[in-house]
Amino acid sequence: MKTPAALKSLALPAALIAVAVFFAVREPAFLGARNLTQLLIEFAMVGTLALGMFLIILTGNIDLSVGSGVGLIGGIAAVLVTGHAWGAGAALSAGLAVAVLLWTLMGALIVKQHIPSFIITLGGLLIFKGLFWLVIQSSTVPVSRGDEDNAYSLLTTYYLPQGAGLALAGGASLLVWALCWRARAVRQSVGLPAEALRSYLAGPVTVTVLLVALVLVCNRFRGVPLALVILGAVTALVYFLTRHTPFGRYLYAIGGNEEAARLSGIRVDRVLIGAFAFMGAMVAVTGFMTTAYSGASTTTVGELMELDAIAACVIGGTALKGGRGTVWGVLLGALIMTVLLNGMTLLAVSPEMKFIARGAVLALAVWLDVKLGRA
């Protein structure tokens, strides 16, 4: 008989499959190579922002300003490219620096002045939204000056050649196998019991199959989109930070019991500011991709993305109180949100119903978080 933990682990994949089957039956184009590739680009944007939010929520905090920040940082880079003739690389670097600075300052304000993150980031939401509209002057700003300078737009329009995509999937798979083998060897070297061979092989085999399948699906259209490669790099970085560094362990400790973390010698203020600085970097990357995907910076870029990021984390099992969550759960939650939004767009669902669906999903996710927290 399945244990409650096992049932919980199967619930998310089952929900994803159910949502995907529903849209595939209602609209056959949902499973088309073009739509699936576009869905993966949208997933890359939601997933990148959600992974940044994951580090914030792990500590028991929240960030409501990221949606406005996505629009602001993407708008700054677009204005520098088109209005001030900056190169795309310089404009993106400037936007990244501004984002990291702003979120570092917000983190410092939260921890040094002991103000709840909900209040500070709610203020940030309004301030960044106003600054965003001022920067673009409430108009539409394209992301490039023309064909001679389209590096900005390439973030979501460039696709890896088919061979390069397969080589990347193979390299990533080999790295996963090597890391799993190393982890098993370390356990044996310190006298811990080795995992059963079946359990040991499950993770690497699953990752390999998923990566190859993903590349094959993308190769049916134009190839692996660059945005998905960016998400893969961010995922690897966040996984490494949370699983193999003291910083990651401190995040979980602070979310579990901040006072106990302080008493144990953890520099709580420094860790929290670091988490917000990382969030700023993820806001910048998401802002660049989202603006590039839209083709221009407009007043609606980034709208409600903070809710999608929070919902992805909570759906994926990250506790709003902090101290619990996994990178893979966040990605699965982000994929569910992306499939839901993509499917509703294909079915030409009205904007009113999209708002209702997103709100209902967020409310359901929080309810489940409360119920599971009591279990």
Of 269, 278, 280, 277, give the one whose Cα is nearest residue 238. Answer: 278
Could you tell me if residue 212 is inside a domain?
A: no
Chain centre to alpha carbon of residue 217: 21
Could you tell me if residue 351 is inside a domain?
A: yes
Q: Which residue has the tokens 């900005």?
A: 152
Q: Which ranges of the chain does DSSP label H, i.e. alpha helix?
A: 4-26, 33-58, 66-82, 88-113, 117-136, 154-157, 162-189, 197-219, 226-244, 246-256, 258-263, 268-294, 305-315, 327-346, 351-374
CA-CA distance, 324 to 139, in Å (whole number)? 42
Angle, nearest 10°, between helix axes 33-58 and 268-294? 160
Could you tell me if residue 171 is inside a domain?
A: no
Residue 183 half-sphere exposure toward CB, CA atoms < 13 A: 13
Could you tell me if residue 153 is inside a domain?
A: yes
* Burial of residue 337, with CB atoms counted within 10 A of its CB: 0-12 exposed, 13-18 middle, 19 or more buried: buried
Could you tell me if residue 280 is inside a domain?
A: yes
User: For the domain that residue 264 is a member of, what is the CATH number?
Assistant: 1.10.3470
Could you tell me if residue 97 is inside a domain?
A: yes
Number of independent structural domains in the chain: 1
Predicted confidence pLDDT, tens digits, the chain (375 residues): 444 555 556 778 888 899 999 999 999 999 998 999 999 999 999 999 999 999 999 999 999 999 999 999 999 999 999 888 788 899 999 999 999 999 999 999 999 999 999 999 999 999 999 999 999 999 999 887 655 456 788 888 899 998 999 999 999 999 888 888 887 787 777 777 766 767 777 778 888 999 999 999 999 999 999 999 999 999 999 999 999 899 999 999 999 999 999 999 999 999 999 999 999 999 999 999 999 999 999 999 999 899 999 999 999 989 989 999 999 999 999 999 999 999 999 999 998 898 898 888 888 877 876 776 555
Could you tell me if residue 216 is inside a domain?
A: no
Could you tell me if residue 322 is inside a domain?
A: yes
pTM > 0.95: yes or no: no
CA-CA distance, 78 to 140, in Å (whole number)? 10
* Burial of residue 238, with CB atoms counted within 10 A of its CB: 0-12 exposed, 13-18 middle, 19 or more buried: buried
Residue numbers of the domain that contains 289: 11-158+225-374
